[in-house]
Each structure stands twice: as C-alpha cells, then as structure tokens.
Amino acid sequence: MSTCCPEARSAAGAGDEVGRLTLVAASQIAPGVGEVIENRARVRAALEEAAAQAADLVVLPELAQSGYVFKDVQEARSVAEHLDGPSVREWSDLSRRLQLVLVAGFCERGPDGHLFNSCVLIDHGQVRATYRKAHLWDREGEFFSRGHEGPPVVDTSLGRVAMMICYDVEFPEWTRMAGLGGADVLAVPTNWPLEARPEGERPMEVVRLQAAASANRMFVVAADRCGGERGVAWVGGSVILGPDGYPLAGPVAAEREQLLTARVNLHAARTKTISASNHVLTDRRPELYALLTRAHEESPASP
C-alpha cells in the first residue's frame, strides 16, 4: 500500500520507459475555520473544476475540511472527523466518480481520541494512505498530537505519490525520505502564513520546495490556501515543480482561489543522474552523516 524505505529504489531501466503524460493539479481554495459543510462544498467544486480539465492528480490545501486558525482545542475537536467520517467518504465518492487521485488535508480524530493534522490519499475511490503531520508549526501543538511515521510513498494508478504537510518540508531529512522511498511526485497540502520578504523575492517556502525537488529529482505539487482567517493572511503560493526544481506552474502568490495544472511525465522522476558520473541518491555518503541521527540535545548547534 505505502512504503517508506531507508534506501533508494533502483532506477535501472527507468530511462527505457516513456511513461504516460499525467495532468497534475494544485487547487488553491479558501477554507473557512469551522465551516465543515461549506468546506466540503468548496472541495467538491474544486474537484469538479479539476476534472473538467481532465486532471489525474489533484492536491488540496492543509486542513481543507476544517479551516486552520482554531481558537482552542475544543473548537478543533468539534470539527475533527475519523478517517471514515463524512468528508473522507465524500472525497472517496468524488475521486471514484471523477476518476482521479486526490490528496487533501483534514482535521483527524484518531481512534484513541487524539487530534492530528492529517492528509489522505485516495486513488479512484480507494483510501490508500493517511499521513499525520510530524513537524507541528507554532500553535499547532496546542491542538494536535505529532505523527510518528515517515512520509508514505504510495504506488498509485498514476505512479509513486508521496505526501507530507506544510512545515514538514522545511526538514531536508523528511523530503529526502520521500526521495529515497522512490517518489515520482511529492504532494504537499499546505497553509503558508504570509511573512515579510524583500520585494521581488519568492516566498522562502517555495524556495525550500524547489531545493527539495531538485535534490531528489522528483516532481512536487503544493496546494496552498488563500482567504484571510481570523487576522491571518496567507502566501497563496501554490506551485508545481519539475525534477529540476524549476516551476512548471506558479507560484501563484495570490489571494484568490484558482487551479494550477501541468502535464508531466511522472516517470521522468525515476532518472536520478545529473551528469555522466553523478546520481543524486547513490552519491550520498551516509557513513559521514552520523550527526543526523543524534538527538538534538547532543548537536553542537543546539541552543
């Protein structure tokens, strides 16, 4: 179903396969906090729009089902849903009817009652994997428990799709795990809060994703949100990146709902060579990276 393996999958023979073209899409919408019914309607409309353009893979923002800026844990709990709850059931029906692969974020109530900032991957109506955000941003720790599993890499009907959420991508070790797992494309539901940056510069969140795409030679589809929420503005920086790290669509950087699409050969991500002598995964020197496995208290950079 899903994999997250410690070593790179072999790309032998990958260059001999052409692979079919896939239309990937990032749907930038404006969920409202606590507006579960309205958010389902927003997602439904977004997926219908994507399907009208013949999208094969659609990525929606982080917490698309619930909105983001909760007042307190009680409010988060009031809109949380189990994996088999009404939102994921409707998304599964839409994925089946519209014949697409969907990655979307939701506020999950776990079997033990803990809340998680999660996303789900649905392949033509079948829930294939759920991921719980491992790296919590700012106040998220007041509402959510951290996930304790690495990013899944799922063999879908389109190719190998990995997923993680927002702040997760700021940790190169985490995006590398998706690359080592053999991901053709990394799907990133995100809510990027707007922060000051020099005029003319891209959001740093987008720059980090460009580096991750290039370093792992994989496609990236990031769906950001828009629409102010309780005084928080958003980057609105949805983007689709190629394995060279350069944008194929976006970044949008706009406070409006819209759909980004790009037609790609996902199989191209299985070629990891960048010169006649270099391969981005097999050139690694894990025996020299011991510092990465130490607890942060032991790190010389710790405060």
Q: Is residue 1 part of a domain?
A: no
> Global pTM?
0.92
pLDDT of residue 296: 65
SS (H, E, C) 35-46: CHHHHHHHHHHH
For the stretch 108-135, pLDDT in tens is 999 999 999 999 999 999 999 999 999 9
Q: Cα(302)–Cα(47) distance, rounded to whole angstroms? A: 44
Low-confidence winner among 68-77, 234-243, 250-259 (lowest mean pLDDT)? 250-259
Q: Is residue 68 part of a domain?
A: yes
For the stretch 180-218, pLDDT in tens is 999 999 999 999 999 999 998 999 999 999 999 999 999
SS (H, E, C) 8-74: CCCCCCHHHCCCCEEEEEEEECCCCCCCHHHHHHHHHHHHHHHHHCCCCEEECCCCCCCCCCCCCHH
Burial 63-84 (b: 16+ CB within 10 A, else e): bbbbbbbbeeeebbeebbbebe
Q: Is residue 12 part of a domain?
A: no
What is the arithmetic mean of pLDDT over 274-286?
97
pLDDT of residue 125: 98
Q: What is the CATH number of the domain that holds 109?
A: 3.60.110.10
Q: Which residues are catalytic?
A: 62, 133, 166
Q: Which domain holds residue 121?
A: 19-271
Q: Is residue 3 part of a domain?
A: no
Q: Is residue 62 part of a domain?
A: yes
